[in-house]
Amino acid sequence: MSFSTTEENYLKAIFKLSEKSGDRPVLTNHLAAEMQIAAASVTDMIRRLAEKQLIEYEKYKGVQLTAEGQRWATYLIRKHRLWEVFLLEKLGFAWDEVHEMAEQLEHIQGDELVNRLDRFLGFPRYDPHGDPIPDEHGRWEARRQSPLSDVMPGQVFIVTGVQDHSTTYLQYLDHLGIALGSRIEPLERLPYDHSMRVKLADGPAFTLSEKAALNLLVMSADEQTTQ
Amino acid sequence: MSFSTTEENYLKAIFKLSEKSGDRPVLTNHLAAEMQIAAASVTDMIRRLAEKQLIEYEKYKGVQLTAEGQRWATYLIRKHRLWEVFLLEKLGFAWDEVHEMAEQLEHIQGDELVNRLDRFLGFPRYDPHGDPIPDEHGRWEARRQSPLSDVMPGQVFIVTGVQDHSTTYLQYLDHLGIALGSRIEPLERLPYDHSMRVKLADGPAFTLSEKAALNLLVMSADEQTTQ
DNA sequence: AAAAATTTTTAGACTAATCTAAATTTATTA
DNA sequence: TAATAAATTTAGATTAGTCTAAAAATTTTT
Ligand SMILES: [Mn+2]
Ligand SMILES: [Mn+2]
Ligand SMILES: [Mn+2]
Ligand SMILES: [Mn+2]
């Protein structure tokens, strides 16, 4: 079993949009927008993927991954995230630089390569953005994390992930001194624009916009230690 | 500047055949045989590569790499060999297992990635098969090595490379206990079939076929220490 | 329940990379 | 040097992946 880079990119996109839509069928236009491709091209490709039993496709109703499609998409995500860890941990790239390269590396074939890379990296469970890495059997641990914008002030939280992977956002966090594992304490939410006053361990207080707080995922500090 | 995987594979093949032919033009059929592709397809592609100024092409006369083509081919070889070192040194693959994977990895784009990988590996000068690795500027050191079949018995040599990269040959060397860096002493050449009696440091004597000796590259032990 | 708007599919075309078979050019041999 | 053989190119097809424009289906609005 092996698929083209293009086919694999479709599988990943369908997986991503499925997650967002709570497993409801993914519509042609959504896929077209996500992949920056004409809707007509998507229609073509999903017919081919359906023939290969990677997705179920009902005309005008959208597509869903089959078990096989799920498995393959998960495998691609495993590869992508392991390579991201490699680029950061071993080659010293920053968390806003690794995505593009991993986007290529995820298509390199070789199960043995993936498993040895996993071992070399010490079987990491999360990637540089806090996203879980599926293991050899396609299983992964989801964390009970929430956007910082949703939590109650007056308690310490640990930064465990980001929802926005854009370079600008990640560099903005760097600028603020916020990284995965940072201890952050929300002080108050300002009703006017929903911005949030927060402070990092031993640091001065500062303000985060609603948008910035929405995309920052945190866990309560005591819960985190059990993970 | 960036080229398709296919174009890059043509460049590498032309480079390889040019080396063999002493820089005389590479003929369509040679390229077709090397790449296991129909001659007509080669004609098509070399016209495209000539348009992109990567090769000079005269109808019916064969092709030669331009300076730009040389540069790019050398860059691909640099990437291929660095990834081979990574797979062997860091992931623990054997020298007969790395080529296929490197064949894919050499097409991954990112100059910074290549240079960081190089640094991570400690700027290796030779790959797991003893082939030289071009540096960031495309320069590399060729060693004064010769096939074991050509050297005079009665002196100790160091194994520095192989000419045959096939799995069967490399595994055969493993079986004999011959690796890069092995000290090997040719005892005599047998006139009947040009086979060679040799011995490894402290080991018993054994016989190598002419073919096996032709593909094993060695340097005299004292010369090697200066490299 | 029509009409209008939106979404999706179909139709037809294009490029890259390949193939086979036929035509052409170059090299070898008689 | 003419005939023959070998190498190379051209011609015409095919497949994957993409596009735009038009047609068809579905959904929303009136
Ligand atoms: Mn990524
Ligand atoms: Mn990531
Ligand atoms: Mn190789
Ligand atoms: Mn090699």
**Whole-number Å distance, CA A52 to C1' D11?**
34
Give residue B54's identity as a one-letter amino acid code: L
B100 to A93: CB separation less than 8 angstroms, yes or no? no
Chain B residue whose CA is closest to A84: B113
pLDDT at A202 (0 to 100) = 82
Cβ–Cβ contact A50 with B under 8 A: no
Chain A residue whose CA is closest to B104: A108
What is the average per-residue pLDDT within B18-45?
Answer: 96
- Local confidence band at A225 (pLDDT 50, 70, 90 cut-offs): low
What is the average per-residue pLDDT within B178-196?
Answer: 95
The number of C-alpha atoms within 13 Å of B216 and in the hemisphere containing its C-beta is 31
Reported as a single tens digit per residue, the pLDDT across A52-97 is 999 999 999 999 999 999 999 999 999 999 999 999 999 999 999 9
pLDDT at B75 (0 to 100) = 98
C-beta atoms surrounding B21 within 10 Å: 14
For residue B213, what are its two tokens?
Answer: 């000796």
pLDDT at A7 (0 to 100) = 98
Closest nucleotide to A4 by C1' from CA: D16
Cβ–Cβ contact B227 with A under 8 A: no
pLDDT at A162 (0 to 100) = 98
Least CB–CB distance from A109: residue in B91, B104, B120: B104
Q: Round to whole Å and give the CA distance between A34 and B72.
A: 33
Q: Round to whole Å and give the CA distance between B54 and B221.
A: 41
Could you write out the DSSP letters of every residue in B160-191? EEES---HHHHHHHHHHT--TT-EEEEEEE-T
Closest nucleotide to A63 by C1' from CA: C8
For residue A32, what are its two tokens?
Answer: 């077209």
pLDDT surpassing 60 at residue B69 = yes
Give residue B111's identity as a one-letter amino acid code: D
**Whole-number Å distance, CA B39 to C1' D4?**
22
Q: Which residues contact B149 (CB under 8 A, 6 or more apart)?
A: B189, B194, B196, B210, B213, B214, B216
Cβ–Cβ contact A92 with B under 8 A: yes
pLDDT surpassing 80 at residue B125 = yes
- Local confidence band at B202 (pLDDT 50, 70, 90 cut-offs): confident
pLDDT at B44 (0 to 100) = 97
Q: Round to whole Å and give the CA distance between B34 and B16.
A: 9
**Strand C positions within 7 A of protein Cβ atoms:** 7-12, 16-22, 25-26
Taking alpha carbons only, the member of B145, B141, B142, B133 closest to residue B181 is: B145
| Share of chain A residues as helix, strand and coil, in percent rounded to the nearest 5 | 45, 20, 35
- Local confidence band at A223 (pLDDT 50, 70, 90 cut-offs): confident
* Average predicted confidence (pLDDT) for chain B: 96
Q: Round to whole Å and give the CA distance between B142 and A173.
A: 48
pLDDT at A226 (0 to 100) = 46
- How many interface pairs between A and B have CB atoms less than 8 angstroms apart? 36
Reported as a single tens digit per residue, the pLDDT across A187-218 is 999 999 999 999 998 889 999 999 999 999 99
Q: Round to whole Å and give the CA distance between A203 and B84.
A: 46
- Local confidence band at B226 (pLDDT 50, 70, 90 cut-offs): very low
| pTM over 0.85, yes/no | yes
Reported as a single tens digit per residue, the pLDDT across A4-62 is 999 999 999 999 999 999 989 999 999 999 999 999 999 999 999 999 999 999 999 99
Q: Round to whole Å and give the CA distance between B160 and A105.
A: 31
pLDDT at B225 (0 to 100) = 54
Give residue B77's identity as a one-letter amino acid code: I
Could you write out the DSSP letters of every residue in B39-93? HHHHHHHHHHHHHTTSEEEETTTEEEE-HHHHHHHHHHHHHHHHHHHIIIIIT--
Q: Is the CB of A214 under 7 A from strand D?
A: no
